[in-house]
Structure 1
Amino acid sequence: MIAGGIAGTAAKTVIAPLDRVKILFQASNPQFEKYAGTWTGVFKAARDIQRTGGFRGLFQGNSATVLRIFPYAAIKFMAYEQYRSLLMPTRRDETPYKKLVAGSMAGVTSVFFTYPLDLIRVRLAYETRAIPYTALVRKIYNEPAGRHHPKHMSWLPALQISNFYRGFLCTVAGMIPYAGVSFFTHDIAQEFCREYLPWTLKTNHQQNRGLPDKNGDYARPELRTWAELVCGGLAGAISQTSAYPLEVVRRKMQVAGALNPREFVGMWETAKRVYITKGVRGFFVGLSIGYLKVTPMVAISFLVYERMKTQLGIN
């Protein structure tokens, strides 16, 4: 959990400015929508943010991101290792399908425990003016909790807490392919390098095998830093493409309360609105930024995680 938390925090902090611009594009913020759809738009949007909010404006919402990403990444990586050990106790039990299932289950587990923090972080990034955390939390809590929100029941905490889970089902639907494909692709790329590209390894595997464990498995050799980054970047790009349409719908739902506090819109209705207004391309708005953001983020995350495992003696 420590290794995963540190890896996630490092990766998210590096790409925080791109993350904020992507959220503004996905949620169709009126001040920045004119820049969406072009490769230079991200730089123009970042320039406007820097002019109005200074350098710190590029990192608005990042403190909330760090508060969320440490437990999120910690739970995700820990859960993946546990699911993997249950489904594949030895390397002879490893199959692509089991790796995909283990990654998907790990993603769903982590997002369940940390989703409210993600929603707060998105709303902070969407706001073009500074707003205190406590004020934003109160604002979200007091928003309608459903399509038919009964006023006389607005005092029920369960209804109001559901506001912090806007877009949750959409997130789970997107997390299944995203986390599953991410871990699966990374593992497959790593094994390919170890098996067929010995020059990507840090040491000669045959000379440094050490002693086998109780299952007869040897410790996997480390990849060189650049090779680890390539494997992680490939995993990030492929997983981002597979889950991006659902991510767009989720972001729309998360900021819906800021656009119209009196209305609660479900996942299918949100998706229909995106299709009617922008067609199929509407589900891929900001994808170019997604590649710029997710590819290095996942690459750094896996690299730091693998190095932290080595430092902590859990390779």
Structure 2
Amino acid sequence: MRHGESEFNTANIFTGWCDVALTPRGVVEATEAGQVFLSCGLRFRKCYTSVLSRSISTAFRSLESAGVGWVDMVKDWRLNERHYGALQGLSKERTGERLGREKVMKWRRSFFARPPSMEPSHPHYDMIENDLRYRKLKGDGGITKGESLEDTQKRVVGVWEDTIVKDSCKDADEGEEGDCVLVVAHANTLRALLMHLDEIEVDDIEDVNIPTAVPFYYDIDKNTGKVVDEKKEVGTFRGKFIYDDLKKRSFLERRRAAQDPWLWALRDDDVEEGMLNKKSLNEISIEEEASRNTKLFASNPSPATKKV
């Protein structure tokens, strides 16, 4: 599952390794995901997250909401969002206007394109270099200064194979309680992972979008670490979205909005006359308001006044 909506998501800013918080909506999304886990009877034996707060907070809130906040949580920097280099902290919209939308979209969505590297003059450079979360990386080739999706995939597949799958198989063999493991990460790390799991072609990954806090699952063969699914073709998304009847509409609406934000924009010819009041509330006279309320409550009597 991708983390809930963050402050930079709603502001449309390149986030990368910026440690931004969830918005109030993001907190609700994480809580709703946990309610779905509970209603679907999912039992987790372990949870894996990045070392970024938005991922950790989403994981904890969803597990807490599911009644299993005690589940072991493993944090690994390799599940971090893609490092956006010099673009980090910039507005996506204004950067596209300055540098050209085609170039910026290539940096954002393609597999091989790497954004400009983060230089020491960048406001975030020292914050990341001096962050205790990455102290071990300094002695292991240094902290990355910018990544393509290809770069991101290498580290994500690494943690998937040598930690998540390996530990999960070991826990299952040792009889650990729980049927599933939960992975809470980021849009690009999950795009990179499902590209690997579903064997999606490089040219097709640009169209893959991961909505915030909408959980999906895979059945994995513990011997091979590969997806078990005979119904869907390799090269397509084979994950299954998880929801219950109460949350289904909310999840589906968020998925549609994430894929096409303009889906919710109305054209002038979509606006019917009755949708907009010609008078504001202050312009309605006392008599008109009384008449309107009388009709409203007369046609919808409360249970206390309804005749039996």
TM-score normalized by structure 1? Answer: 0.29
Q: Which has the larger radius of gyration?
A: 2
Larger helix fraction of residues: 1
TM-score normalized by structure 2? Answer: 0.30
Q: Which has the higher contact order (CA 8 A, sep 6+)?
A: 1
